[in-house]
Amino acid sequence: MGTKSSGSVTMMIVSTILFLILTILSPTVHGNYFGTNAGKDDQCFCKLKGSIDDCSCNVDTVDYFNNVKIYPRLQSILLKNYFRFYKVNLKQECPFWPDDSKCAIRYCHVQPCDDDDIPEGLKGEIPRNLYFNESPADKYQLPAQFENCNQNARDHNMELGYLNTTISSENYKEFERWQQHDDAQDNFCVKESSPGEYVDLLLNPERYTGYKGPSAHRIWRSIYMENCFRPENSPHNFIQSSKINGMCLEKRVFYRVISGLHASINIHLCSKYLLSPHNGLSVESGARWGANLAELQRRFSPETTGGEGPNWLKNLYFTYLLELRALAKAAPYLEREEYYTGNEADDKDTRLAINDVLQIVKSFPEHFNETVMFSGGIDAQILKEEFRQHFRNISRIMDCVGCDKCKLWGKLQIQGLGTALKILFSGKFDKWVSPLHNFNRKHNFLERSEIVALINGFGRLSDSIFELDRFRQMMR
């Protein structure tokens, strides 16, 4: 009996010690810390569940698809020279207000490429159509077989068969202006007035620079207050998610893609936050960037966002699905792109990598359905044009960003989203037409800068969803 009693006491002491150890070592989860009143880590504000509004799939499906299949492949592709160098004009003046908000913080600075750093094939933009190295006049000449027909007609009857094909150089210039006007009708972004200069995106990564305050707030306030479609009687600076269901689908889509892009940019800033501007270990002027969980909470938890933060995160997934659909729709064109940089081996690797990603993209079972939008006759077409003009205004606002590095990535991601909208709604990509047909038609509807922005922009959304999962793990 004494032995058993002593053993029981010993077991109780051991059990008590183990309980205390586990209590001390196990992570204590407070509802306020995660932005909810829940006490479980799988109910924190960034653990999203359920279907994505105005889409047919759910969050978990996108998480697995992106983090396992898409993200690793995109990270490899974005190292390729074709996607690494982006031509941008960072000196274009703000068209809406005096540009008196230039960021003086050293981390805002963008270092353009030296000429020697740029791949040879990117230094001169190659005409991306079937009239390679032809003059404007050559574009409008009749092909040989029709020229012969015309000659036979002249021989048969000089008066009735003769066709005067002489066109002045002024007319050709006018034709070019017509073509530029027609092309602009399909673009959701305003083209820059000058080509700008190449920037190496790998040497100028998107991250928090310290740019904040009235200048930064004015950018987003202008986007939401003046360019997003708003519910009636909405006095708030930012649109309340609870009220957008009263708007039509097209107006909800516009708000959600802007909100999703905004959420994505905020996640980038939180995952690469300036932690130590003076005494860190980074090679860049002693600075150190890393994940800032408290900043993510401040930007997205229900307590600090009036309950809106989780909705903003869901809009990130919505924007991801919209751009995913655009890639799938443009795949027949993107698969035939040369991705030319002048290095044959690298260009071949880029083509293979892109085609691999596009096959994965096309395999996703529940793409965003753009065919249900703008389908109601003349009123729908008026709304579509209003939709396009609103987005073009937002592309102009990017020239008002005071931080050059923020401006660089803002312009790139807006152009990427604008390119996705062009693919979905211009009508040019609704039916694949082989470039072997209709010799006098331009079939490459995307310029190089649009392709670079599209892939990089989608890469940024992919990175946000991946980083969001890392933040969940940190919370646990």
DSSP code string of 212-232: -SHHHHHHHHHIIIIIS---T
Tokens of 216: 């930064």
Determine the Cα–Cα distance for residues 358 and 123; give it in Å rounded to an integer: 27
Q: Which residues contact 278 (CB under 8 A, 6 or more apart)?
A: 286, 287
Spatial CA neighbour of 199 closest among 59, 421, 409: 409
Please indicate if the annotation marks 259 as binding a ligand: yes
Please answer whether residues 367 and 328 qualify as being in contact, where contact means their C-beta atoms are separated by less than 8 angstroms: yes
Q: Is 51 helix (H, G, I), strand (E, B) or coil?
A: strand
Count Cα neighbours of 260 within 13 Å in the Cβ-side half-sphere. 25
Please answer whether residues 51 and 57 qualify as being in contact, where contact means their C-beta atoms are separated by less than 8 angstroms: yes
Q: Among residues 46, 228, 270, 406, which one is catalytic? A: 406
Please answer whether residues 140 and 167 qualify as being in contact, where contact means their C-beta atoms are separated by less than 8 angstroms: yes
Region for residue 368 given its phi and psi (left: phi exceeds 0; alpha: psi -120 to 50; beta: otherwise): beta
Q: Is 118 helix (H, G, I), strand (E, B) or coil?
A: coil
400 annotated active-site:
no
- 232 exposed, middle or buried (CB, 10 Å; 0-12, 13-18, 19+)? exposed
The DSSP call for residue 134 is -
Distances from the Cα of 295 to the Cα of 7, 25, 298, 374, angstroms: 52, 25, 5, 39
Tell me the backbone φ, ψ of residue 221, rounded to 5 degrees: -65, -40
Please indicate if the annotation marks 299 as binding a ligand: yes
Spatial CA neighbour of 257 closest among 232, 222, 229: 229
Determine the Cα–Cα distance for residues 133 and 23; give it in Å rounded to an integer: 74
Q: Which residues contact 186 (CB under 8 A, 6 or more apart)?
A: 422, 426, 427, 428, 445
Please indicate if the annotation marks 298 as binding a ligand: no
Q: Among residues 46, 55, 400, 403, which one is catalytic? A: 403
Query: For the chain, what is the total number of helices (H) and then of strands (E)?
Result: 19, 4
Beta strand 197-200 pairing with 85-88: antiparallel
- H or E stretch at 467: helix 448-475
406 annotated active-site:
yes
Spatial CA neighbour of 455 closest among 332, 357, 374: 357
Determine the Cα–Cα distance for residues 347 and 341; give it in Å rounded to an integer: 7
Please indicate if the annotation marks 319 as binding a ligand: no
Single-letter amino acid, residue 8: S
Please answer whether residues 407 and 101 qualify as being in contact, where contact means their C-beta atoms are separated by less than 8 angstroms: no
Q: Which residues are annotated as a binding site for FAD?
A: 207, 209, 220, 259, 262, 299
Catalytic residues: 403, 406
